[in-house]
């Protein structure tokens, strides 16, 4: 066999086994070829990305595939980016969020015009701190929407540390539930049933106000957090002791009026507990009998990769 025949044979062999060119066609900004998202989730992301493109001209494409089909993650993402021409021609202001489900891989590919905003380090932080944690919980929509929201804030000029710190300071709902349970149990310990009922009323009222304020406008979420967290604690530490002293004096005066010197026998210790009786008879302080503590562009090759 001649040398040229060998070369042709090797060429056809490599062509046969090498991954072919991509045949994926964009259907919009959100391209879910794996059926990972619901129709409502796709529509929501599509609306957000179209609005972002209208306001800033930046084109962000989301591409979700079943697997890499033997391709390299970075090469596959780069090929899609350049084949589709993500970003405006001349501006190269495109961003590709590429997800490979089978390999559990994530890639953020960035055009030349966006590299000063979405540096490799920033892309890595978005993957590690926003997308991956949500993907590990199978919460794909929140991971993608969170990444898009973060990229938008970076485009607006905010620093990545500021954006991520805002997300980090949103404590989980379980934290607030545990705090409120602690307040209720502590109130029960120091004032028994009466203290528990008072604290429960305060907790329910603040939760309702917080919920309504958040529904009216999510911007008020910090105010809602303030209400849910600080008001029950403030009441427990400052107002409950004051209320108990006032209540004790009123009750003591009434008991003396009706029972005279035998008023102590009618002191409702089962209802109010040792906390009030400690104040009335021995002058012992706050913690009497108990305790507690408070705690058409082209890719610039920049970006980052990760997994979940």
CATH code, 10-169: 3.10.310.50
The rounded distance, in Å, linking the Cα atoms of 68 and 79 is 12
Residue 133 token pair = 């944690």
For 143-165, the pLDDT digits (tens) are: 999 999 999 989 888 776 666 65
The rounded distance, in Å, linking the Cα atoms of 209 and 228 is 9
Tokens 């090929």 sit on residue? 79
Hey, where are the domains in the chain?
Answer: 10-169, 174-282
pTM exceeding the 0.95 threshold for the entire prediction: no
SS (H, E, C) 121-134: HHHHHHHHHHHHHH
247 Cβ contact partners less than 8 Å away, ≥ 6 residues apart: 272, 276
For 111-142, the pLDDT digits (tens) are: 999 999 898 988 998 999 899 999 999 999 99
Considering only CA atoms, which of 146, 186, 136, 194 is closest in space to residue 168? Answer: 146
What confidence category does residue 199 fall into, taking pLDDT thresholds of 50, 70 and 90? confident
Q: Is 50 exceeded by the pLDDT of residue 286? A: no
């Amino acid at each position: 066999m001649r040398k040229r025949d060998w070369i042709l044979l090797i060429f056809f062999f490599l062509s046969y086994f090498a991954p072919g060119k991509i045949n994926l066609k964009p259907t919009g900004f959100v391209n879910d070829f794996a059926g990972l998202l619901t129709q409502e989730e796709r529509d929501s992301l599509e609306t957000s990305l179209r609005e972002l493109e209208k306001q800033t001209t930046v084109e962000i494409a989301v591409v979700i595939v079943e697997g890499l089909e033997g391709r390299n993650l970075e090469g596959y993402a780069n090929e899609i980016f350049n084949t589709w021409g993500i970003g405006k021609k001349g501006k190269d202001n495109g961003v590709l969020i590429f997800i490979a489900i089978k390999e559990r891989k994530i890639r953020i590919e960035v055009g030349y015009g966006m590299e000063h905003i979405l540096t490799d380090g920033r892309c890595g932080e978005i993957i590690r701190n926003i997308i991956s944690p949500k993907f590990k919980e199978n919460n794909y929509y929140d991971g993608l929407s969170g990444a898009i929201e973060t990229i938008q804030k970076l485009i607006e000029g905010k620093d990545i540390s500021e954006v991520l710190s805002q997300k980090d300071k949103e404590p989980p709902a379980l934290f607030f539930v545990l705090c409120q349970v602690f307040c209720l149990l502590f109130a029960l310990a120091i004032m028994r049933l009466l203290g528990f009922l008072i604290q429960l009323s305060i907790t329910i009222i603040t939760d309702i106000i917080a919920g309504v304020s958040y529904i009216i406008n999510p911007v008020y979420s910090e105010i809602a957090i303030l209400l849910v967290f600080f008001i029950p604690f403030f009441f427990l530490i400052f107002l409950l002791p004051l209320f108990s002293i006032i209540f004790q004096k009123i009750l003591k005066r009434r008991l003396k009026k009706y029972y005279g010197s035998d008023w102590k026998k009618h002191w409702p210790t089962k209802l109010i507990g040792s906390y009030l009786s400690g104040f009335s008879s021995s002058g012992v302080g706050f913690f009497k009998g108990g305790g507690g503590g408070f705690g058409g562009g082209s890719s610039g090759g920049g970006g980052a990769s990760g997994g979940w």
